[in-house]
Amino acid sequence: MNETSPVVIDQDKCIECFECSRTCPSSTLYEKNNTLMVASDADVRCIRCAHCLGVCPEDAINIPSYTDDSDIIPIPEHTIDPETILNFMRARRSTRLFKPEPVEKKDLDVLIDAARYAPSAHNDQTSEFTVITGEMVQEIKKTMLDEASLLVKAIPEDPATAAEMVKKFLPKTSSDVILSMLGSMKDLIRDMEKGGRDRIFWDAPALIVISAKKKSAGFSAALENACLSAAYIMLMAESMDLGTCSLGILIWTIATTRKVRKLIELPKGNRALYALAVGKKATNFKKLLPRNKPKINYVE
């Protein structure tokens, strides 16, 4: 056995059924002359997906980088039918009415644990998680409101002059967002400054920001990975009777506002990609609701 290889085969246990080599997406394992082989460039080729380990009937495969054997267990028998799963997915709705009580740390840990099992491109597992609770949620919200208020007040009332000014000082994507939301932003700020409804975090007691290292090998697909991680968090939260709401405004503000970036304390070199509000639901939906019919293009 080559103990330095990312995949180690126990030849005494291996029955050469070749399930592992058939499953391997990178041909790290392959069959040659009716013998199981490990590629000489396995360290580069292998993506550590552990599909080989998952299909081996004899526990003949070891992945040295997987140090926690307690995380490797037989797959429980599937007992959930498709209709039940679909109804559960349909029941998940964005929550914009949260109860004030905090979410317990153990529950937040369960959400993050679920997210680490989300698919990721090339199995790069780029998603990292920053969890914000307590007074820091309020401080970030106040800073966002203050910064938005200063921005809106600095923009002229005349639409043409406003467009010229915004496009001059902000990147195109940011300027387009500001101009399209200017009217609603003014209403939001005015309402919240008077003590009205929280339309930034919806009174959620916890935030989760998903980020990734900008210089990581898998960063080109990090946004897609973050979206999948967020979806897993949303579904796990629903099973725990917790509500979630995507916070695109927070991601945009982290990207454009230094004061907010400083408060969030992302790991050095990371870019924020997705954000969620999390909390206990203050209201529950009674019905499954319709969505637009899918537009499908079948190609044969």
Give the global pTM: 0.88
Distance of alpha carbon 260 from the chain centroid: 20
d(CA 8, CA 287): 51
At residue 1 the predicted structure's pLDDT band, cuts being 50, 70 and 90, is very low
Q: What confidence tier does 256 reach under pLDDT thresholds 50, 70, 90? A: confident
**Mean pLDDT, residues 224-252 taken together:** 97
Band of the pLDDT at 140, cuts 50, 70, 90?
A: very high
pLDDT exceeds cutoff 70 at 13:
yes
| Chain mean pLDDT for the chain | 90
Q: How many helices (H) and strands (E) does the chain have?
A: 11, 8
pLDDT band at 243 (very low <50, low <70, confident <90, very high): very high
Q: Provide mean pLDDT across the span 202-225.
A: 96
Domain 78-284 is of which CATH architecture? 3-Layer(aba) Sandwich (3.40)
Angstrom distance (rounded) from CA 39 to CA 30: 7
- Give the whole-angstrom CA distance, residue 43 versus residue 47: 9
- Residues whose CB is less than 8 angstroms from the CB of residue 147 and which lie 6 or more positions away in sequence, other chains included: 253, 257, 259, 260
Percentage of the chain beyond pLDDT 70 is: 93
Confidence check: pLDDT of 178 > 70: no
In contact, 141 and 204? CB cutoff 8 Å = no
pLDDT tier at 292, thresholds 50, 70, 90: very high
In this prediction, residues 47-72 reach a mean pLDDT of 89
CA distance 175 to 66: 46
Q: Was domain 8-71 assigned CATH 3.30.70.20?
A: yes
pLDDT in tens, 141-167: 999 988 888 877 777 777 777 777 767
Q: How far is CA 231 from CA 92, 210, 245, in A?
A: 11, 12, 11
Asked, colleague to colleague, whether 8-71 and 78-284 share their fold, the answer is: no
Rounded Cα–Cα distance for residues 67 and 70 (Å): 9
Per domain, the residue ranges of the chain are 8-71, 78-284
pLDDT for 79: 78
